[in-house]
Amino acid sequence: MDLEKSPKRALSTRLIVGMILGATLIAGSAFAIGFAAAPVNPMPDSTSAEAGFSRDMQTHHIQAVEMSMILLDRTEDPAMRMLAEDIATAQQHQVGQMYAWLSVWGVPQAAPEPSMTWMTRPTLEGANHDHSGEDGGTAHVPGGPMPGMATPEQMAELETLSGVAAEKLFLELMITHHIAGVEMAEAILDRSTNRAVTDAARGMVLVQQGEIDYMNDLLDDRR
């Protein structure tokens, strides 16, 4: 889709960026205060699982925020609007939180290695397990497509729809997106003892699994 012919997308993108930058400042201040009072923890380095998770989950969350903002332009349904607003608010806040972690750890925001590399590394127990294969998860290839991400074509299609059609596609895409987000959060729990990271990851699993269940109900109502 020609971006010059999509003023709503341009506006939404600017809004997303503004929200994320605002959350970054707030989360950065809060994290710095909490970090000073927290027990001493080894500082994650640039190729740590914590740094990889923080970078990749930012990318993952940013698309969820963008999808939510697109839907808000295309539905008047109160339940769908509340869901989209909740996802956008929570995930843009978490983007700011993860941006702040990288800053406090003194590692670059840009990854020194392909995305998803951290998910292929051994767990704390030493198992080289990336939530793929025997447990039905997605196999992760460093530098390959990030799990659960909507394609550019799917994002463009969402922008062309409205009403129930937009709601159905949003729910289908976001359920897939959330399932992968839960998988990523569980993967960092297998690989990290950093309190800030593991607390946030447990919260992501809890909230996003609840939203998956709710979105499946909403989708059933629209079939």
CATH number at residue 12: 1.20.1260.10
Range of the domain at 191: 3-36+44-108+143-221
Question: How many other β-carbons are positioned within 10 Å of the β-carbon of residue 144?
Answer: 12
The answer to whether residue 26 is domain-embedded is yes
d(CA 218, CA 80): 8
Question: Can you give the pLDDT at residue 25?
Answer: 46
The answer to whether residue 136 is domain-embedded is no
Question: Can you give the pLDDT at residue 223?
Answer: 87
Tell me which of 148 and 136 has the higher pLDDT.
Answer: 148
The answer to whether residue 149 is domain-embedded is yes
The answer to whether residue 133 is domain-embedded is no
Assess whether pLDDT exceeds 60 at residue 26: no
* 15-39 burial code (b ≥16 CB/10 A, e <16): bbeebbeebbeebbeebeeeeeeee
User: How many domains would you assign to the chain?
Assistant: 1
Q: Please, is 12 exposed, middle or buried when counting C-beta atoms within 10 Å of its C-beta (0-12, 13-18, 19+)?
A: buried
Between 18-27, 92-101, 177-186, the lowest mean confidence (pLDDT) is in 18-27
pLDDT (mean) for 82-98: 97
The average confidence (pLDDT) of the chain is: 84
pLDDT (mean) for 178-203: 97
Question: Can you give the pLDDT at residue 197?
Answer: 98
